Amino acid sequence: MRNPDYKVALIVPVYNEHETVETFVKTVNEKLAAEIEHIEIVFIDDGSSDNTVELIEKLQKNDKKISLIRLSRNFGKEAAMSAALDLVQSDAIVPIDVDLQDPPELVLEFIRIWRDEGIDTVYGVREDRSSDTNTKRVSSEGFYYVFNKMSGKVKIPSNVGDFRLIDRKIIDILKTLKERNRFMKALYAWPGFSSKGVGYTRPERVAGETKWNYWKLWNFALDGIFAFSSLPLKVWSYIGGFIGLLSLIYMTWNIFKTMIFGNPTAGYTTLICVILFLGAVQLISIGILGEYVGRLSQEVKGRPVYVAQSITGPLAKKIPQGISSTEVGIAYNSNENNVKKLTSKEEVKA
């Protein structure tokens, strides 16, 4: 059984979502009325250029459970989620989309399973994705299949996104991870512990347009694969060996043919095809190697994954004043009466 005074924070990354913010808060208050005393809402603004921040600040005046972490620029959704993991101090968190494609009412079932059954991670399974295009559904299922085949011991459930409830002990483990290339779906699964899925039908966006396109999704998929698998590197040894074997067979055949039939003029087309094929294989292998080297470069530099320029709402009272740093980010929490700069990790409350 959990602490009866538990707090669950809804983690809501936003980027130019002025059409949906007010509707989201209204829906949460209506659908989660049975648990509203245990609920916090933490928006993470990922460098919005519209009036999203102004709308959230307006909502904060009338709703004291709303906090806002404002990043200094657009760092990406994974960075925004990392900021929430670092700074939010609730007993559990629920990453949820502001467009209401993640039904807030399902959070009640998440909380019940977490509280009464002691499950550490409760995730939503998209059983019906009819609101998505056929291309997106097929590519998504293909990615989950490929990732789970390549990632070794870290598996992510199919048709599961960020929408889930995560217990505090898992959050504390995730906060110790120092990697800069952060594929959150797999990181959630990496610590292990008990988990359970809850099926739901994924509805359409309540308003606005998605900020994801197929190019971004493609690069997102590559980040996940390269972060959790070295198979793309290893496979080129086998490809090279196979091509070497074919070359040996072809060379043996040509020697035998020359000894028996003489040495006629070699074909130009065959030569060009072999050169182009081997050149393409070499370029692809170098490209794969470059993907890993580029990510290693980011890790070695150790630049912060995010920079939070301000924190407002109830959360601000729980965060040390001034500049504080975690394993992967930097946050600035100001107070007109008391600003204290932290200079060592011992002073920082993770």
Q: Which residue has the higher pLDDT, 91 or 154?
A: 91
**Closest to 125 in 3D by CA, of 55, 196, 205:** 196
What pLDDT was estimated at residue 265? 58
Copy the structure tokens of residue 144.
């989950």
What pLDDT was estimated at residue 259? 67
Q: How high is the mean pLDDT of the chain?
A: 77
Is 46 within 8 Å of 14 (Cβ atoms)?
Answer: yes
- Rounded to 5°, the CA angle 314-10-305 comes to 85
214 pLDDT exceeds 50? Answer: yes
Copy the structure tokens of residue 201.
């039908």
Is 81 within 8 Å of 175 (Cβ atoms)?
Answer: no
313 pLDDT exceeds 70? Answer: yes
pTM (2 d.p.): 0.69
Instruction: Compute CA distances 321 → 303, 342, 349, whole Å.
Output: 22, 8, 11
In this structure, of 127-136, 174-183, 283-292, the range with the lowest mean pLDDT score is 127-136
Helices 52-62 & 21-31, crossing angle to 10 degrees? 30
**pLDDT range class, residue 336, cuts 50, 70, 90:** very low
88 pLDDT exceeds 80? Answer: yes
Copy the structure tokens of residue 182.
């952060």
DSSP state of 314: G
Distance CA 70, CA 44 (A): 6
Mean per-residue pLDDT, 234-263: 70
27 pLDDT exceeds 60? Answer: yes
295 pLDDT exceeds 60? Answer: yes
222 pLDDT exceeds 60? Answer: yes
Helices (H), the chain: 21-31, 52-62, 77-87, 106-117, 134-150, 168-174, 184-189, 214-228, 231-261, 268-301
What is the signed CA dihedral for 9, 12, 13, 17, rounded to 10 degrees? -160
**pLDDT range class, residue 10, cuts 50, 70, 90:** very high
**Closest to 166 in 3D by CA, of 10, 334, 50:** 10
What pLDDT was estimated at residue 350? 37
**Closest to 76 in 3D by CA, of 219, 173, 284:** 219
8 pLDDT exceeds 70? Answer: yes
254 pLDDT exceeds 50? Answer: yes
Distance CA 263, CA 101 (A): 69
